[in-house]
C-alpha cells in the first residue's frame, strides 16, 4: 500500500500509460512538470495521460471482420475504430489505435495508417500532446468501403503481401 503512494519511476510511469519512457519525458517537458529523477506520482501520471490524450481499451470488445487474410482483417477493424473515433474532424492521439495490441499487430496498424495518410484518406499531424490522426469528411465514405471489404487500396494490398 505504501508503494502506491510513492512516486513511480520513469519506466513504471511509461508502462502504466502504455507509451515508451521517452514519450513520458517528452510529455513532462511539454507540460513543464519534469521532476527530480523523472519520478511521477499517480496524480502526475494521470495529468500526463490527460494532457497527452492517452486512452486505452480501443480493442476491448472490438470484433474483427470475417476475412481470409489476417492482416487485412486487422486493418479493416482498425479503420472501423478510426471512423468511430475520428470522423467529423475529431483529432485523437494516433497510438491509441494500437495500444494494447501485440507488437506485430501494432506495427501493421501503424503502417496501414501511414499508407492511408499517403493516400489522403486520413490526416496525421504532430501536436504538443503527440501524433494525432483525423478523418477528413470527404474520405469517410471511402474508408467505410475499405472497412467493409467492399473496396481495396493498392498501398494496403502491398502490406497484406508481406
Domains for the chain: give ranges and CATH numbers: 2-52 (no CATH), 70-161 (1.10.10.10)
Q: In this structure, are residues 95 and 85 in contact, taking their beta carbons and an 8 Å threshold?
A: no
For residue 125, pLDDT over 90 is answered with yes
Task: Name the one residue in this structure whose C-alpha cell is 481495396.
Answer: 152
The pLDDT value recorded for residue 4 is 57
Cα gap 21→9, rounded to integer Å: 10
Q: In this structure, are residues 8 and 45 in contact, taking their beta carbons and an 8 Å threshold?
A: yes
For residue 143, pLDDT over 90 is answered with yes
Cα gap 107→96, rounded to integer Å: 13
The pLDDT value recorded for residue 162 is 58
Residue 57: count other Cβ atoms within 10 Å of its Cβ: 11
The pLDDT value recorded for residue 35 is 83
**Is residue 6 very low, low, confident or very high in pLDDT (cuts 50, 70, 90)?**
low
Overall size of the chain counted in residues: 162
For residue 1, pLDDT over 70 is answered with no
Cα gap 121→124, rounded to integer Å: 10
What global pTM score does this model have? 0.86
pLDDT tens column, 75-109: 999 999 999 999 888 999 999 999 989 999 999 99
pLDDT tens column, 11-49: 898 998 999 999 999 999 999 988 888 888 888 899 999
Q: In this structure, are residues 69 and 152 in contact, taking their beta carbons and an 8 Å threshold?
A: no
Task: Name the one residue in this structure whose C-alpha cell is 495508417.
Answer: 113
What Rg value do the Cα atoms of the chain yield, rounded? 17
Amino acid at each position: 500500500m505504501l508503494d502506491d503512494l510513492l512516486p513511480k519511476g520513469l519506466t513504471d510511469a511509461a508502462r502504466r500509460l502504455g507509451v515508451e519512457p521517452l514519450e513520458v519525458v517528452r510529455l513532462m517537458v511539454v507540460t513543464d512538470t519534469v521532476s527530480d529523477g523523472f519520478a511521477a506520482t499517480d496524480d502526475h501520471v494521470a495529468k500526463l495521460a490527460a494532457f497527452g490524450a492517452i486512452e486505452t481499451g480501443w480493442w476491448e470488445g472490438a470484433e474483427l471482420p470475417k476475412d481470409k487474410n489476417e492482416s487485412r482483417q486487422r486493418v479493416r477493424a482498425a479503420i472501423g475504430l478510426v471512423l468511430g473515433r475520428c470522423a467529423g474532424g475529431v483529432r485523437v492521439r494516433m497510438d491509441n489505435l494500437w495500444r494494447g495490441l501485440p507488437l506485430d499487430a501494432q506495427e501493421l496498424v501503424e503502417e496501414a495508417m501511414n499508407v492511408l495518410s499517403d493516400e489522403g484518406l486520413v490526416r496525421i499531424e504532430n501536436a504538443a500532446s503527440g501524433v494525432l490522426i483525423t478523418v477528413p469528411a470527404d474520405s469517410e465514405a471511402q474508408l467505410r468501403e475499405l472497412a467493409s471489404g467492399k473496396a481495396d487500396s493498392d498501398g494496403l494490398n502491398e502490406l497484406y503481401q508481406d
